[in-house]
């Protein structure tokens, strides 16, 4: 381990960053060093901005991906190396707000029914039935299933925050059948890395991503469906079913209600129920027909 890597890891761990964030930040700095073929502590702000342009121009990354990498760059240079640069020296890209894709309940059923095997099917049901992020599903433990209170405990979600989400009776039945079907019941992880034998590691997020992608292709839903699509569907369908935004915010683990308000825009039922101001006015007369 290089001294620079150790310094950055120490600063990340002191601030209790999640393992996913630590991994992403380290990978970004490694990629930066490979791009310039020199130690990253020898680079200046002009080169950092050139690297950001490269991410857009050549790597074809979207604004959110470049924003995540920019956060890693800021942490390394301003926090780890304590460079006296201004934040403007490592600017965040301008946000491009696009509404995420939401699938209908019928399409959700089609997606789940198209899972390649029982393991993938229960993964997809858990994503949709709880609204959890794929990393949160991957790290669920058997002890997180609270049958008495009918909730699932989410340990160390985004921002290292714990929360509870509902446990659907239908999902509980599927989970019981899934566990009964394993050759050996796992000791810790609900979805172990090797589902046929006891595994000390949980399933990877890539396995969950591939399970969703493969099911979407089989269902004919295209390549834009991913695990977060089921999280969006969970929230949108709850809102359309009458659940208030504050409850949805708690279930999703959003810190800011404004982020949850996105589902107002995604709900077609909400949009259809909103009258246009044109419907509230009466026109005096119609103009004569002309050429």
**Blockwise average pLDDT, block size 10, the chain, 291 residues:** 87 86 93 94 94 93 90 95 90 77 91 93 95 93 94 82 91 93 84 69 92 95 91 90 88 83 71 65 68 55
Cβ pair 239, 245 in contact under 8 A = yes
Tokens at residue 189, please?
A: 């992880």
- pLDDT at residue 279, as a whole number: 67
State the catalytic residues. Answer: 133, 158, 228, 231, 254, 263
If we measure between CA atoms, which residue out of 111, 82, 125, 147 comes closest to residue 224?
A: 111
Pairing of strands 163-166, 145-146: unpaired
If we measure between CA atoms, which residue out of 132, 175, 178, 176 comes closest to residue 155?
A: 132
- pLDDT at residue 223, as a whole number: 84
**Choices 3.40.50.2020, 1.10.10.10, 1.10.443.10, 3.20.20.70: CATH for 105-272:** 1.10.443.10
If we measure between CA atoms, which residue out of 176, 196, 191 comes closest to residue 135?
A: 191
Enter the DSSP assignment of 141: B
* DSSP per-residue letters across 203-272: PPHHHHHHHHHHHHHHHT--S---HHHHHHHHHHHHHHTT--HHHHHHHHT-S-HHHHTHHHHH-HHHHH
Instruction: For the chain, give the longest Cα–Cα distance.
Output: 81
**141 DSSP β-pair partners:** 189
How is domain 3-89 classified at the architecture level of CATH?
Orthogonal Bundle (1.10)
Tell me the C-alpha distance between 233 and 230, whole Å.
5
Cβ pair 24, 18 in contact under 8 A = no
Cβ pair 152, 140 in contact under 8 A = yes
Neighbours of 67 (CB within 10 A): 15
For CATH 1.10.150.130, list the domain ranges present in the chain.
3-89
Tokens at residue 270, please?
A: 């909400």
From the number of C-beta atoms within 10 Å of its C-beta (0-12, 13-18, 19+), residue 154 rates as buried
Torsion sign, CA atoms 70, 71, 72, 76: positive
- pLDDT at residue 20, as a whole number: 81
């Amino acid at each position: 381990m290089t001294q620079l890597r150790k310094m950055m890891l120490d600063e990340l761990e002191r601030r209790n960053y999640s393992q996913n964030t630590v991994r992403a930040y380290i990978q970004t700095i490694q990629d930066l060093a490979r791009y310039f073929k020199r130690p990253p502590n020898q680079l200046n702000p002009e080169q950092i901005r050139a690297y950001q342009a490269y991410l857009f121009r050549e790597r074809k990354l979207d604004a959110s991906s470049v924003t995540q990498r920019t956060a890693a760059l800021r942490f390394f240079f301003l926090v780890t190396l304590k460079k006296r640069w201004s934040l403007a020296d490592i600017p965040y890209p301008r946000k491009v707000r696009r509404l995420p894709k939401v699938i209908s309940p019928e399409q959700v059923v089609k997606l789940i029914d198209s899972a390649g095997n029982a393991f993938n099917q229960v993964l997809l049901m858990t994503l949709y039935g709880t609204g959890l992020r794929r990393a949160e599903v991957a790290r669920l433990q058997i002890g997180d299933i609270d049958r008495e209170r009918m909730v699932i405990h989410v340990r160390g979600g985004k921002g290292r925050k714990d929360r509870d989400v509902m446990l659907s009776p239908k999902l509980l039945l599927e989970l019981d059948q899934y566990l009964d079907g394993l050759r050996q019941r796992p000791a810790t992880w609900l979805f172990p890395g090797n589902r046929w034998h006891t595994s000390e590691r949980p399933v990877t997020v890539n396995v969950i991503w591939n399970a969703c992608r493969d099911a979407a292709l089989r269902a004919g839903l295209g390549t834009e469906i991913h695990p977060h699509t089921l999280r969006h569907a969970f929230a949108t369908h709850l809102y359309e079913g009458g659940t208030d935004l504050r409850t949805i915010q708690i279930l999703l683990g959003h810190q800011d209600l404004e982020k949850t308000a996105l589902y107002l825009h995604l709900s077609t039922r909400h949009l259809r129920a909103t009258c246009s101001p044109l419907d509230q006015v009466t026109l005096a007369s119609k103009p004569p027909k002309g050429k």
